[in-house]
Amino acid sequence: MDAPAIETHDLRKEYRGRAVVDGLTLVVQPGEVFGFLGPNGAGKSTTVKMLLGLVLPTAGTVRVLGGSPANPAVRARLGFLPEQFRFQTWMTGQEFLRFHGRLAGLNAGELRTRIPEVLEVVGLGGRGHEVLGGYSKGMLQRAGLAGAILARPQLVFLDEPTSALDPIGRVEVREIIERLRSQGVAVFLNSHLLSEVEQVCDRVAFVKAGRVLRQGTMRELMGGVLPLDVRVDTLPPGLLDTLSRLGELRHTDTNTPGRASVELWLQREDAIPAIARAVLDSGAQLYALTPRRPDLETMFLDLIEDTPEASRRPQLQNGQAARA
Ligand X SMILES: Nc1ncnc2c1ncn2[C@@H]1O[C@H](COP(=O)(O)OP(=O)(O)OP(=O)(O)O)[C@@H](O)[C@H]1O
Query: Judged by CB, which is closer to ligand X: 203, or 208?
Result: 208
The reply on whether position 84 binds ligand X by CB under 6 A is no
Per-residue buried b or exposed e for 89-122, using 16+ beta carbons within 10 Å of the residue's own CB: eebbbbbbbbebbeebebeeeebeebbbebbebb
What is the residue-wise DSSP string for 60-101? EEEEETTB-TTSHHHHTTEEEE-SS----TTSBHHHHHHHHH
Least distance to ligand X, CB of residue 14, Å? 9
Selected range binding ligand X among 43-51, 145-153, 248-256, 285-293, rule: CB under 6 A: 43-51
Which pairing describes strands 155-159 and 186-190: parallel, antiparallel, or unpaired? Answer: parallel
Query: Judged by CB, which is closer to ligand X: 75, or 208?
Result: 208
The reply on whether position 191 binds ligand X by CB under 6 A is no
> For ligand X, what does the binding mask look like between residues 4 and 33, x meaning CB under 6 A?
-----------x----x-------------
d(CA 288, CA 276): 9
Helix (H, G, I), strand (E, B) or coil at 203: strand
The only residue of 6, 33, 34, 44 in contact with ligand X, by rule CB under 6 A: 44
The reply on whether position 42 binds ligand X by CB under 6 A is yes
The reply on whether position 43 binds ligand X by CB under 6 A is yes
The reply on whether position 128 binds ligand X by CB under 6 A is no
d(CA 161, CA 96): 18
Q: For residue 229, what are the β-bridge partners?
A: 263, 290
The reply on whether position 134 binds ligand X by CB under 6 A is no
Least distance to ligand X, CB of residue 67, Å? 23
> For ligand X, what does the binding mask look like between residues 227 and 246, x meaning CB under 6 A?
--------------------
Query: How far from the centroid of its chain's Cα atoms is residue 225's Cα?
Result: 20
Q: Would you say 214 and 205 are in contact if contact means Cβ atoms under 8 Å apart?
A: yes
User: How many residues lie near ligand X (CB under 6 A)?
Assistant: 10
The reply on whether position 58 binds ligand X by CB under 6 A is no
Q: Would you say 298 and 218 are in contact if contact means Cβ atoms under 8 Å apart?
A: no
Query: Judged by CB, which is closer to ligand X: 43, or 101?
Result: 43
The only residue of 38, 57, 79, 128 in contact with ligand X, by rule CB under 6 A: 38
Query: Judged by CB, which is closer to ligand X: 25, or 45?
Result: 45
The reply on whether position 252 binds ligand X by CB under 6 A is no
The reply on whether position 41 binds ligand X by CB under 6 A is yes
Least distance to ligand X, CB of residue 54, Å? 11
d(CA 2, CA 67): 12
Q: Would you say 308 and 208 are in contact if contact means Cβ atoms under 8 Å apart?
A: no
Binding site for ligand X (CB under 6 A): 15, 20, 38, 40-46
